């Protein structure tokens, strides 16, 4: 009604309620290309919001604190766990701790934007418990041999560490039926576009 329209000023465009955003969880075995796909999506789809995880591992050359991860000391991580500040957290590859800070994700979802988490299988299972309406996407290799080739080709782990990661990868591949969608990383561009299109499906306003 005209009287209501004059009484209540229209919100700016960005503040128009678009409902809650959706949580998208991307997981997959070591060296399948999660980091590569994430980088491609960051570059080509800047509208996609990525959660920045917290980790106790040391930064690698080229990694920027606050962009690729928030790098923290072990005692600080444990304090945040105690304070309930993580949506999920896990020890990955038997070494460092990783966790998704809860606050930024909740704020983005409340603002109507989607949030993408790139986390491991243990974390994905925790999110399934607390956030069952999230979209769970598994990134799979074209074949086992190709996964091994990528891990060896990346050259960032020694043989013993590679063996350990491949044992975990076997268990992770066996769990892919727990996911809503499986995207095969045969080609970085194609797989990234499929992921973004899954994120956007059902959301005509994105
Ligand atoms: N549960 C959980 N896993 C994470 C999180 N952030 C990263 N990871 C996983 O930790 C693993 C190790 O990641 P990273 O240290 O970047 O090494 P990379 O797998 O060798 O590239 C990957 O499987 C990531 O998916 C997080 O916040 N929570
Ligand atoms: N579609 C692809 N085809 C060929 N090589 C790929 C593809 N995606 C990723 N790679 C390569 O595989 C290796 C592992 O990728 P990375 O993104 O580090 O995996 P993750 O983050 O899952 O451990 C890297 O050397 C990367 O360049």
Q: Pairing state of beta strands 135-140 and 23-27?
A: parallel
How many domains, the chain?
A: 1
Nearest to 27 by CA among 169, 131, 142: 169
* Residue 70 resides in a domain: yes
- Residue nearest atom 12 in ligand 1 by C-alpha distance: 92
- Closest listed ligand to the CA of 50: 1
pLDDT at residue number 61: 85
pLDDT lower than 70: segments of the chain: 1-18, 202-206
CATH of the domain at 105: 3.40.50.300
pLDDT at residue number 18: 58
* Residue 168 resides in a domain: yes
User: Any residues with CB less than 8 A from the CB of 131 and at least 6 apart, and which?
Assistant: 23, 87
- Express each pLDDT in 159-199 by its tens digit: 999 999 999 999 999 999 999 999 999 999 999 999 999 99
Q: How far is the CA of 92 from the centre of ligand 1 (A)?
A: 7
34 is in an annotated binding site: yes
ipTM above 0.90, yes or no: yes
Alpha-carbon span 113 to 115, nearest angstrom: 7
pLDDT at residue number 19: 84
Given the CA of residue 100, which atom of ligand 1 is nearest to it? Answer: 27
* Residue 11 resides in a domain: no
Is residue 49 a contact partner of residue 42, using CB atoms and an 8 Å limit? no
Q: How far is the CA of 184 from the centre of ligand 1 (A)?
A: 19
* Residue 8 resides in a domain: no
The single-letter DSSP state of residue 141 is -
Given the CA of residue 156, which atom of ligand 1 is nearest to it? Answer: 20
- Residue nearest atom 6 in ligand 2 by C-alpha distance: 33
97 is in an annotated binding site: no
Q: In this structure, what token pair is assigned to residue 127?
A: 């999110």
Structural domain for 42, as ranges: 20-200
What sections of the chain are H helices per DSSP? 2-7, 34-44, 74-82, 102-110, 121-130, 144-154, 159-174, 188-200
* Residue 147 resides in a domain: yes
How many helices (H) and strands (E) in the chain?
8, 9
202 is in an annotated binding site: no
Alpha-carbon span 52 to 172, nearest angstrom: 22
CB 162 near ligand 2, within 6 Å? no
* Residue 13 resides in a domain: no
R_g of the chain computed on alpha carbons: 19
- Closest listed ligand to the CA of 143: 2
Alpha-carbon span 14 to 162, nearest angstrom: 47
CB neighbours of residue 166 within 10 Å? 16
* Residue 35 resides in a domain: yes
- Residue nearest atom 15 in ligand 2 by C-alpha distance: 33
* Residue 100 resides in a domain: yes
32 is in an annotated binding site: yes
Question: Directed axis angle between helix 188-200 and helix 34-44, to 10°?
Answer: 70
pLDDT at residue number 157: 87
């Amino acid at each position: 009604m005209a009287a209501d329209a004059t009484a209540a000023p229209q919100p700016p465009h960005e503040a128009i309620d678009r409902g809650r955003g959706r949580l998208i969880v991307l997981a997959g075995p070591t060296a399948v290309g999660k980091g590569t796909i994430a980088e491609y999506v960051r570059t080509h789809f800047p509208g996609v919001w990525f959660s920045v995880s917290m980790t106790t591992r040391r930064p690698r050359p080229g990694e920027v604190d606050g962009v690729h991860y928030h790098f923290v000391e072990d005692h600080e991580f444990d304090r945040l766990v105690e304070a309930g500040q993580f949506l999920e957290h896990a020890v990955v590859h038997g070494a460092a701790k990783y966790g998704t800070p809860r606050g930024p994700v909740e704020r983005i979802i409340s603002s109507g934007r989607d949030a993408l988490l790139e986390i491991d299988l243990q974390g994905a299972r925790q999110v399934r418990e607390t956030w069952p309406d999230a979209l769970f996407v598994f990134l799979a290799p074209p074949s086992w041999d190709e996964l091994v080739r990528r891990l060896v080709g990346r050259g960032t782990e020694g043989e013993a560490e590679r063996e350990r990661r491949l044992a975990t990868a076997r268990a992770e591949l066996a769990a892919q039926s727990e996911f809503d969608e499986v995207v095969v990383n045969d080609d970085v561009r194609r797989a990234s576009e499929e992921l973004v299109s899954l994120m956007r499906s059902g959301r005509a306003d994105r």
